[in-house]
Amino acid sequence: MLKKIIDTMIPETFADRYNWAGLIAVLGYLVSFALSASSV
């Protein structure tokens, strides 16, 4: 679901890497979640 939101909101930004834009966003979200969970 997060990938679909990214693909809809910023397709022009990642025009040359369109297939990777959603994956990069999801991985960034997971990394930030893991860092915030580990600091608790």
pLDDT of residue 40: 65
Segments forming the whole domain that contains residue 23: 2-38
pTM listed for this prediction: 0.55
In b/e form, how buried is each residue of 13-24, taking b as 16+ CB within 10 angstroms? ebeeeeeebbee
Number of domains in the chain: 1
pLDDT of residue 7: 67
Distance of alpha carbon 32 from alpha carbon 9, whole angstroms: 20
Q: Give the mean pLDDT per block of 10 residues along the chain (40 residues).
A: 70 66 82 87
7 burial type by CB count under 10 A (0-12 exposed, 13-18 middle, 19+ buried): middle
pLDDT of residue 4: 74
Distance of alpha carbon 40 from alpha carbon 24, whole angstroms: 25
pLDDT of residue 34: 93
